[in-house]
């Protein structure tokens, strides 16, 4: 296995797939409303995973032709089923390695990447590879989160500690859970032109029950998934973990607030 590939820190459980579908549908408007490809354009979705974003992407650009790739055959099979069930017909699936793409130079008009770079040991190499298969003046769109953006009330040291467990585990797996803030320099260093980054902030308090549900089922659930590993590696003791998770849930109750920022970057390949 390519040493650049590491274990997917969030695991591959059904619960994780459901979390990803839920996340994609909840965040569709915030993250994807301004991504629309013109009819006839060829778009690569790099690392489609279980197809959580694929459905939204393909619906937003019904005239575009998508090729969605992933390194995991299992994820790809799930994605195919999902997209077929949704009645979407403008997506072809193919197994591919982001570090060794099976496409010739300038094959695509646009490339779309969501929640991928955070898991890669060499995001710059990945961006360079994606630039290679993009035609001149084609665009690359990247969306990533940044767990350092989590801001909440009541504030809690233990809550920050459990979040930090995921950040550390992802780092040990070769990734970077704080990559959102780095998109501008990564895209620019990879040679993309006219790079624009726009932060997309989620804010939840009791008057926004839908956002509060999102915080529970997207963010806190994601943290909870690394419980066993964090404790068994001695990153945190059981008591602190339970207190940290309980404090995170407290932010979704009466008087609590929770903020999180995603970053979306768009760049153009030199003409």
Binding site for a second copy (CB under 8 A): 146, 148-149, 151-153, 155, 178, 181-182, 184-185, 188-189, 195-199, 201, 203, 205-207, 255-257, 259, 261
Q: Tell me whether residue 85 or residue 128 sits nearer to a second copy (CB atom).
A: 128
Q: How far is the CB of 7 from a second copy (least distance, A)?
A: 24
d(CA 205, CA 23): 18
d(CA 143, CA 32): 9
Q: Tell me whether residue 60 or residue 156 sits nearer to a second copy (CB atom).
A: 156
Q: Tell me whether residue 187 or residue 218 sits nearer to a second copy (CB atom).
A: 187
Q: How far is the CB of 2 from a second copy (least distance, A)?
A: 27
Q: How far is the CB of 182 from a second copy (least distance, A)?
A: 5
Q: Tell me whether residue 88 or residue 124 sits nearer to a second copy (CB atom).
A: 124
Q: How far is the CB of 159 from a second copy (least distance, A)?
A: 13
* Cα 80 to chain centroid, rounded: 19
Residues 215, 216, 220, CA angle at the centre, nearest 5°? 90
Interior/surface letters 189-201, b for 16+ CB within 10 angstroms, e for the rest: ebebeebebeebe
Q: Tell me whether residue 169 or residue 195 sits nearer to a second copy (CB atom).
A: 195
Q: How far is the CB of 262 from a second copy (least distance, A)?
A: 11
**DSSP state string for 14-74:** HHHHHHHHHHHHHHIIIIITT--PPTT-EEEEE--TTTTTHHHHHHH-TTSEEEEEES-HH
């Amino acid at each position: 296995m390519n040493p650049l590939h590491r274990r997917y820190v969030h695991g591959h459980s059904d619960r994780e797939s459901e979390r990803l579908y839920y996340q994609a549908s909840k965040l569709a408007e915030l993250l994807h409303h301004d991504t629309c490809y013109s009819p006839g354009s060829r778009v690569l979705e790099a690392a489609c995973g279980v197809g959580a974003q694929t459905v939204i992407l393909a619906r937003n650009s019904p005239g575009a032709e998508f090729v969605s790739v992933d390194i995991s055959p299992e994820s790809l099979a799930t994605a195919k089923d999902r997209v077929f069930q949704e009645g979407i017909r403008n997506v072809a699936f193919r197994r591919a390695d982001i570090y060794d793409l099976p496409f010739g130079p300038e094959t695509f008009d646009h490339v779309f990447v969501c929640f991928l770079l955070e898991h890669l040991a060499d995001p710059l190499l990945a961006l360079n590879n994606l630039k290679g298969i993009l035609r001149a003046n084609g665009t690359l769109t990247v969306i990533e989160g940044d767990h350092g953006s989590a801001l909440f009330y009541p504030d809690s040291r233990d809550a920050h500690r459990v979040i930090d467990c995921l950040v550390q585990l992802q780092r040990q797996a070769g990734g970077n859970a704080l990559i959102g803030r780095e998109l501008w320099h990564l895209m620019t260093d990879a040679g993309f032109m006219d790079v624009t980054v726009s932060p997309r902030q989620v804010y939840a308090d009791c008057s926004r029950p839908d956002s509060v549900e999102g915080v529970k089922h997207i963010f806190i659930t994601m943290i909870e998934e690394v419980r066993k590993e964090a404790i068994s590696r001695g990153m945190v003791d059981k008591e602190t973990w339970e207190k940290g998770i309980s404090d995170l849930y407290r932010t979704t109750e009466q008087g609590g607030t929770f903020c999180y920022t995603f970053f979306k970057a768009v760049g153009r390949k030199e003409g």
